[in-house]
Amino acid sequence: MSQHHRRTKHTTASPKIRAAIEARLPLPCIEGCGRLVERGQAWHVAHIQAASQGGRTTLANCGPAHARCNLTGGGKMGAAVTNSARRAAKGRRAW
């Protein structure tokens, strides 16, 4: 129960899902950056199939994405859209 957890209002996924994923780390980043998400890194729960495409917030449909990958929408699936992260993408578009 670290204090910073209290400030994390960013709850797209349930804490249970996050905990279950965290227990399995390291896992490949589902944003497709080709690297592993490891414990201790900043990572988010992201949808494998985007919620906008009918993906549900279940353990089977969620996986870890680096915070950076998730916020920049770095991958193929646009998971950032489901995480209301767009405001964080202040002009950092590399594409």
Q: Is 46 in the site for Zn ion (CB under 5 A)?
A: no
Q: Give the residue nearest to Zn ion (CB).
A: 29
Stretch binding Zn ion (CB under 5 A), from 1-9, 50-58, 60-68, 78-86: 60-68
Determine the Cα–Cα distance for residues 28 and 2; give it in Å rounded to an integer: 26
Stretch binding Zn ion (CB under 5 A), from 10-18, 21-29, 42-50, 80-88: 21-29
Nearer to Zn ion, 31 or 62 (CB): 31
- Judged by DSSP in three states, 75 sits in coil
Question: Minimal distance in Å, beta carbon 75 to Zn ion?
Answer: 8
Nearest in space to 8 (alpha carbons), one of 34, 36, 42, 55: 42
Determine the Cα–Cα distance for residues 26 and 38; give it in Å rounded to an integer: 4
